[in-house]
Every structure is written in structure tokens, then in C-alpha cells.
Amino acid sequence: MKDREEVLYEEKERLFTKKQIVWIIVSAVSLMVIVIALLFGIDQVEAYKHKRTNHYLQEVEQLLKESEQTLQTFKEGEDVPVELLPIIEASGKEWIATAQSLNAPSAFTKHKEAVKQLILKRYSVVSSAALMVEINNYQVNTIEELLAASQELVDLEKEQLFASLEAAQIKYELLEDGTIRYYIRK
């Protein structure tokens, strides 16, 4: 039989006491929970950023389509009724207001500026065309020249879009028809 001193000595020599083992297990589990929570939180932040980016890109796409459709009306040399000119003018002003109020993610600030420049140019083309219709002096050649000058801004917008997608680390591809497909996490 062991005497009391030997038992105490053996307990001191043990690597960990029961309390220490419990404390280590609780600490390890707590640390794992914290790491998992952080990873989940980071994932949620990334998903929010992608959702916000997706919303911005959809707004821009809609804005550019609307302005392009109006330009096509004048570009094709169709007779535009004079009664529609105030509506077209108001639409152009809406484009500008929408472009200025776009809520661009930080990686897309340069892209937003390129969109604003393009919209302003398209508005000036539409205004010039509307004025020509109003004074009954519509010239398709003049409109085509104005549109050709705006093509540089279309190219700049595309360049800035690609640069912004890369800065935001969003995968994308350019399809054969010129459409850009990007992949957003939800």
C-alpha cells in the first residue's frame, strides 16, 4: 500500500490534472467555434459584396440598354414624331440622374465614371437628334458622326468593367456575341 506522500507525488508528476484536461478541451472547442463563426461571417460578407455588385451591374445594364434603344431610333433614320421629343428628352434626363445615383461598389468607381461619361454623351446625341427633328433638318450622317465619337466611351466603359471585375475578383467571360457573363456568389 502506498503512503500518502507517494500518492501526492504521483499526482504532481501527472502531466495534466483533471481540471486542466477539462479546461483544454473547453478551450479547444471554443476556439473551433470561434474559427467556424469567423469563416461563416467572412463568407457572408463576401456574399453580400457579390450581391451588391450584381445589383449595380444589373442597374448599369438596364441603363445602357435603355439609352442604346433610344439612340437606335435616331440612328436608323426613322421618322420620330415631334410629339415624342419631350418624352425622349425626359428619358435622357432620367438616364443622367440614374447614372449619377448608381451605388457602385468600391472596385467599380472608375467604371461608374465611365458609365456617367457615356450616358452624358448619349444624352447629347439624343438632344442633337431631337433638335434636328424639331427644326426639320434631320441628317443621318451627322448622327452617325456623333455616334462614332461616342464609341470611344463605349470602349472605355467595357475596359473599366473588365478592370473592375478583376479588381473585385469576380470571374467573367466574354461570349461570342459580345455579351459578358460574370459569376456572382449568392
- Domains in the chain: boundaries: 52-182
**Which segment of 1-10, 48-57, 146-155 scores lowest on mean pLDDT?**
1-10
Q: What is the pLDDT of residues 67-91, one digit of tens each?
A: 998 888 877 666 777 788 888 889 9
Q: What is the pairing mode between strands 180-182 and 172-174?
A: antiparallel
Contacts of 46 (CB under 8 A, 6+ apart): 185
The cell numbers describing 6, all together, are 507517494
Average pLDDT over residues 135-154: 81
Nearest to 111 by CA among 177, 70, 172, 45: 172
At residue 23 the predicted structure's pLDDT band, cuts being 50, 70 and 90, is confident
What single-letter DSSP state applies at residue 168?
T
Q: How far apart are CA 31 and CA 49, in angstroms?
A: 27
Residues facing residue 172 across a β-bridge: 182
Is the domain defined by 52-182 classed in CATH 1.20.120?
yes
pTM beyond cutoff 0.75: no
